[in-house]
Copies of this chain bind each other. A is one copy, B any other.
Amino acid sequence: MIFIMNERMAIQDYYSDPMAHCYGCGRLNEVGLKFKSYWDGKESHASFKPRAYHTAFPGFVYGGLIASLIDCHGTGTAAAAAYYAEERDMGTEPELRFVTASIQVSYLKPTPIDTTLELRGKVKEIKGKKVTVEVELSANNELCARGEVIAIKIPDTMKITI
């Protein structure tokens, strides 16, 4: 299978400019988190160091950040997997970009704030415009949260209006 993706480039670096304003993962959102995901042809990976103020309680990350990272990682993984399934290089037209239809996150244990969080995504199913992605979030090699994102390909008609 031909699949060219520079492994040093994040999935989100391939998003077109109008699609790159997400507070979580948009490279053009000046104050956003600039979260980045990487695709190895089979799974997706990401790392994120929480800021000191991303607290739930002192010492632990608030759940909203964890949901945000899983969300961005899920839609990014969906995009990479969709290009891969079509045997197309990321960044080629027409752009394959996904939004979240639903997210579910189980918080398995308190997530420490003073370390780098590691995310891993796996595609559970690709069915038409829908990609289901399972995401695990770990800290210090301990699984802290598990999520599932149902991502839907943005229709071309919607992209025109953005």
Q: Interface on A for B, CB 8 Å cutoff?
A: 18-19, 21-24, 26, 29-32, 53-59, 62-65, 67-69, 71-72, 99-107, 110, 162
Q: Is the CB of A53 within 8 A of B67?
A: no
Shortest Cβ distance from A148 into B: residue? B104
Q: Which residues of B contact A30 (CB under 8 A)?
A: 53
A64 with B54: in contact, given A102-B104, A107-B100, A107-B101 (CB under 8 Å)?
no
Q: How far is the CA of A114 from the CA of B47 in the complex (A)?
A: 31
User: How distant is A32 from chain B, measured CB to nearest CB, in Å?
Assistant: 7
Q: Is the CB of A106 within 8 A of B101?
A: yes
Q: How far is the CA of A104 from the CA of B70 in the complex (A)?
A: 12
